[in-house]
Structure 1
């Protein structure tokens, strides 16, 4: 017998349209409050944005076997997605209305194996440096005891978001 997992998500264009209409921090707080939909990738991997402040963001998830690679542990792409989300949203939290960002690169160091037995993990993102056009952020993936499971750095490009057309 195979295993199944069912999930649903909301229209991603709702949130995409809101980018730039408020500050990045306000946008992320609206997602936490449930007034804006989270991106579909959060439903796909079953992770949540738990905390956000100026220059910082925290995501968490409980790994399961649906996240496994062929060798029986969580796939590196799941680590990378959590770390990229935390680092990127840390940058987003610093943006004024009318501005957006995108990741230019992501460097991940995998330090410990994650399995379903690991328990809930948290990706903590922090802005290291932010200029007018680029930002550098880091993210740390931690287990419930605070042990470092992985680390990432990300460079992000900052740019004006075109005003929505009526």
Structure 2
């Protein structure tokens, strides 16, 4: 992924960095090919393959500029993100949708880490609490997702976003529907 600031306006006059239009370019891999590659793996095997660079990251990772998956364990996943200008809302802080996507990803992947090959899940709901604003000055944050209940058809997970000092920025709870390979 690259980010650039164009320092020249359409007439050719130099403009200040604050007035310059920004451009962000990124690439991603075919998500269906990645899904097919992971179909024969358990959830934890697939997530570890992504974390270790042996399988492509999902496109949302590039779209939002996640740093990656920092940890994968049974029932626990840690995502990292460094807030950047392209995450900002009109009031100069990270948009709530970035929080929600990060929290949803951590909750869902924590559930995925407990699924055997052939099983999958989908989020049923997500309840987010925004506790404080993030900016570029926040530095890298972690979003830690953990499973609190794993049933046959339903799983519950929670996630929290914290900075390097453990300061809490947001939390979420999620319910996921589980689809078992042997069920019709």
Taking structure 2 as the reference length, the TM-score comes to 0.85
TM superposition shift of 1:22: 1.3
1:141 alignment counterpart: 161
2:112 alignment counterpart: 92
TM superposition shift of 1:19: 4.2
**Greater relative CO (CA pairs within 8 A, separation 6+):** 1
Q: Give the secondary-structure state (helix, strand or coil) at the position aligned to 1:155.
A: strand
| Structural RMSD (CA) | 1.2
5+ residue gaps, structure 2: 1-19
Q: Quick check: 1:119 aligned with 2:139?
A: yes
1:15 alignment counterpart: 34
Number of residue pairs matched by the alignment: 162
Runs of 4+ with deviation above 2 angstroms? none
Q: Give the secondary-structure state (helix, strand or coil) at the position aligned to 1:72.
A: coil
Larger radius of gyration: 2
The separation in 1 between residues aligned to 2:155 and 2:132, in whole angstroms, is 27
The separation in 1 between residues aligned to 2:134 and 2:180, in whole angstroms, is 38
Counting only pairs closer than 5 Å after superposition, residues 15-94 of structure 1 correspond to structure 2 as 15-47=34-66, 48-94=68-114
The separation in 1 between residues aligned to 2:107 and 2:60, in whole angstroms, is 16
2:12 alignment counterpart: none
The separation in 1 between residues aligned to 2:44 and 2:178, in whole angstroms, is 15
The separation in 2 between residues aligned to 1:27 and 1:72, in whole angstroms, is 36
Q: Give the secondary-structure state (helix, strand or coil) at the position aligned to 1:4.
A: strand
The separation in 1 between residues aligned to 2:180 and 2:62, in whole angstroms, is 28
The separation in 1 between residues aligned to 2:130 and 2:179, in whole angstroms, is 30
TM superposition shift of 1:161: 5.0
**Farther-moved stretch of structure 1 (123-132 vs 26-35):** 26-35
The separation in 2 between residues aligned to 1:18 and 1:160, in whole angstroms, is 19
